Chains A and B, each alone.
Chain A
Amino acid sequence: DVKVTQSSRYLVKRTGEKVFLECVQDMDHENMFWYRQDPGLGLRLIYFSYDVKMKEKGDIPEGYSVSREKKERFSLILESASTNQTSMYLCASSLLPSGDTQYFGPGTRLTVL
């Protein structure tokens, strides 16, 4: 069974804190993605990576950075968390880019106070 795991299901942080969200996939996929999901807005792409140490900005990268040191792990970093970053964060991976199936983790619900 394919599996994408995220380090936390729920996280509460304070404004200004540095936040790390970790994602691990066990499928040897090249491509990994970070989305945020907000009601009425669907999923919006923050960053994606198509190879180790490679990263590309998505549609809403401001306030975020990413790290991919190993193929199976893709980390999302909020350098200085703000209340408008309160959201559900979803990680996904795929074998092929674009039109291929994306496999999602269960999500991390982040609340920034």
Chain B
Amino acid sequence: TQLLEQSPQFLSIQEGENLTVYCNSSSVFSSLQWYRQEPGEGPVLLVTVVTGGEVKKLKRLTFQFGDARKDSSLHITAAQPGDTGLYLCAGAQGAQKLVFGQGTRLTINP
């Protein structure tokens, strides 16, 4: 059973469009992280959200943590080919573990 469900699993859109990726759970997390992974590399942290309702912006990327700290979203405005990659959400559960979602493979076509 996947504790964190990401949707969609695959997304292919044209350059300039907007998109939202969702990360949902029935569990409460103390914090939630978003990573991006490019081919042949390990995941790299984009952001950590800690407070329920928190919104963080990273240039064209907007991250939101749900009020109940069970879900999160990533919104990309005016997507660019450089945004292509695998996006992973990960929730902090317990003292030492992260639980990862299945990932969203995003392709931005020029």
Interface residues of A (CB under 8 A from B): 4, 9, 31, 35, 40-45, 48, 50, 56, 58, 90, 92, 97-99, 101-107
Interface of B, secondary structure class, is: loop
Contact surface of B with A, Cβ cutoff 8 Å: 2, 4, 6, 9, 30-31, 33, 40-45, 48, 50, 88, 90, 92-98, 100-103
Are A43 and B100 touching (Cβ within 8 A)? yes
Q: Are A98 and B9 in contact (CB under 8 A)?
A: no
| Chain B residue at minimum C-beta to C-beta distance from A105 | B42
For A50, what are the chain B residues with a Cβ–Cβ distance below 8 Å? 96
B96 pairs with A98, CB closer than 8 A = yes
Q: Are B98 and A102 in contact (CB under 8 A)?
A: yes
Shortest Cβ gap from A49 to chain B (Å): 10
Measured between beta carbons, the chain A residues less than 8 angstroms from B9 are: 40
Contact of B100 among A31, A42, A99, A107 (CB under 8 A): A42
In whole Å, how far is A44's beta carbon from the nearest beta carbon of chain B?
Answer: 7
